[in-house]
Amino acid sequence: MIKLVIKKKINILLQKYRIARKRHIEIRKFKDPKRIKIYSQIELTEKQKKQIDDFYLSNYGKKIPYTWHRYFTAFTGSFDPQYFPELLFIPEFERYMNPNQSYVNVFADKNVLAAIAAGVGVRMPKSVVSSVNNILLDKEYRLIDWNSLETLLGEGEYFAKPTVDSDSGRGCRLLDCKNNNMLHALKKMGCDFVVQEKIVCSESISRLHPASVNTLRIMTYVWKEKIAVAPVIMRIGRNGSFLDNAHAGGMFIAVNNDGSLHKYAFTEFRERFYEHPDTKIIFEGYVIKNLEKVIKEAIRMHSALSQLGVINWDFTIDKNEEPILIEANTSGGSIWLFQIAWGRGVFGENTAEILQWMRGNRV
C-alpha cells in the first residue's frame, strides 16, 4: 500500500515537471525578437484584458499572460478573449487528451500509420521502399538489401522522408533516381524512413503553387463522445520550394466549409498576401474542391486511432479528386496556425468547457 502511494506521488511530481518544462519551452518561444516585434505592436485595452481575465478565471481558475492574445490579434486585428494559448495547449491539453506517450510515439511513425490507414481504407502516398529500424522493406513488406534498392526504384522520381522524430519538413527530400548520389542520400536519412511515389495534386490545389504538395491541416479532437473538427486551414508553398510548412517558409490560410479561401494568407512572421506571390492567384473566394471528403477521412482515421484524444492531420487531394493522408501529428500541434488564419479561438463554443475540464485534470 505504501509503495502504491509513493508511486502515485512520484507520478504526480513527474507530470508536474513535464508540464512545467513544456510551459517553459512555450514561454521561451516568445522571447524570439521576431515574435516580440510582432506582439509589441499591439497593446490590449483595459476592457480586453478584463475580458481575458474574467473568461480564464471563471473557467480555468487562473489568469494567463496576455502575450498570446496580443500576438494573435496583431496578425489580423481581430481580438477574441477565447484565443487558446499554446502555453496551455501543448503542456496541458495535449497531455491530458493523449496521456499514453507510447501511443503518441507509435502513431506518429509514418510507417505504422500507413498500415493502419490501409486497414480502414484511407489512402496515403504509395510506398515503394521503407526502412524500419534499419531494416529495408519493399512495398509488400518483404526484406530487401541495398544492392537491390537501385533496381527497385528504377529511374523514377520519389519523395523521401524520415518516419520518426521529424517535423516541419525536416529531413524531407526529392529523389531523382537518375542522380548517382541517390543511394548515398538515402543512407544519410537514418534508420527510419520511407520512399514514396510523388503525389500529383488536384487542379484546384496544384494551381496555387505547383512545385509543392499543398496540404489541408485538420485538427480533430474527441469531445462529448464525438469527434469534433476545428476550423480548417491550408498550407501553401512558395518560392518554388517543394515544402509547404510555415516553419520552412510556406504560408497558411483559413478555409471555409465550402472550400473557399479567406482573403489573406500569412507566414510565420506576419507577412501577409492577398494573392500568391508566385502564381498571382487571388486567394479570396478561390475554392478547394472536395474539402468535405477530406474531413470525413480525417474523422475516419481518428476513429481508428481512438487511443488519442487530439490529432493534427495533414491531407491533400490528388489528381483524381480523392483525399490523400500525408501524416498524423500526435504531439506539438501548432494551434497558432488556426488562430492566426481565422482570427478567433480554435475551440469556439467548446472553449469554456474545455478549460473547465483541464481545470479538473490539473495535478
Q: Are residues 106 and 89 in the same domain?
A: no
Q: Are residues 176 and 252 in the same domain?
A: no
* In the block, residue with C-alpha cell 530487401: 144
Please check whether residue 22 is in contact with residue 88, taking contact to mean a CB–CB distance below 8 angstroms.
no
Q: Indicate whether 279 belongs to any domain.
A: yes
What's the confidence (pLDDT) of residue 67?
A: 96
**CATH number of the domain bearing residue 236:** 3.30.470.20
Q: Are residues 161 and 224 in the same domain?
A: no
Distance in angstroms (rounded) separating the CA atoms of residues 182 and 156: 11
CA–chain centroid gap for 114, Å, is: 17
What's the confidence (pLDDT) of residue 266?
A: 95
Q: Are residues 147 and 39 in the same domain?
A: no
Q: 282: pLDDT confidence band, cut at 50, 70 and 90?
A: very high
Q: Bridge-partner residues for 202, per DSSP?
A: none
Q: Indicate whether 343 belongs to any domain.
A: no
Of 177, 197, 217, which one is at a domain's C-terminal end?
A: 197
Apex 61 CA angle, 57 and 64, nearest 5 = 60
pLDDT digits (tens, 9 = 90+) for 216-262: 999 999 999 999 999 999 999 998 877 666 666 789 999 999 999 99
Q: Are residues 87 and 164 in the same domain?
A: no
Q: Indicate whether 211 belongs to any domain.
A: yes
* In the block, residue with C-alpha cell 487531394: 317
Query: Does 157 or 27 have the greater pLDDT score?
Result: 27
Q: Are residues 175 and 106 in the same domain?
A: no
Q: Indicate whether 339 belongs to any domain.
A: no
Query: Does 137 or 262 have the greater pLDDT score?
Result: 262
DSSP 232-285: EEEEE--TT-S---GGGT-EEEEE-TTSBB-S-EE-TT--EESB-TTT--B-TT
Distance in angstroms (rounded) separating the CA atoms of residues 203 and 234: 15
Q: Are residues 107 and 235 in the same domain?
A: yes
Which domain covers residue 49, as residue numbers? 2-98+352-361
Q: Bridge-partner residues for 174, per DSSP?
A: 159
Of 139, 165, 197, which one is at a domain's C-terminal end?
A: 197
Q: Are residues 74 and 166 in the same domain?
A: no
What's the confidence (pLDDT) of residue 244?
A: 66
Distance in angstroms (rounded) separating the CA atoms of residues 239 and 280: 12
Lowest average pLDDT, out of 90-99, 156-165, 199-208, goes to: 156-165
pLDDT digits (tens, 9 = 90+) for 173-193: 777 766 666 777 787 888 888
Q: Indicate whether 115 belongs to any domain.
A: yes
- Among 301, 114, 120, CA closest to 220: 301
Say if residue 165's pLDDT is above 80. no
Q: How many domains does the chain have?
A: 3
Q: Are residues 89 and 219 in the same domain?
A: no
What percent of the chain lies above the pLDDT cut of 70?
A: 92
Q: Three-class SS of residue 51?
A: helix
Query: Is the pTM above the cut of 0.85?
Result: yes
- Among 105, 38, 118, 96, CA closest to 72: 38
Q: Indicate whether 347 belongs to any domain.
A: no
CA-based torsion, 51, 52, 57, 60: positive or negative:
positive
Of 146, 166, 197, which one is at a domain's C-terminal end?
A: 197
Q: Indicate whether 344 belongs to any domain.
A: no
Q: Are residues 116 and 155 in the same domain?
A: no
Distance in angstroms (rounded) separating the CA atoms of residues 27 and 149: 46
CB atoms within 10 A of CB 282: 12
Q: Are residues 164 and 223 in the same domain?
A: no
Q: Three-class SS of residue 121?
A: coil
Query: Does 20 or 210 have the greater pLDDT score?
Result: 210
Distance in angstroms (rounded) separating the CA atoms of residues 224 and 159: 39
- 20: cell is 512545467
Q: Indicate whether 335 belongs to any domain.
A: no
Q: Are residues 16 and 78 in the same domain?
A: yes
pLDDT digits (tens, 9 = 90+) for 284-309: 999 999 999 999 999 999 999 999 99
Q: Bridge-partner residues for 162, per DSSP?
A: 193
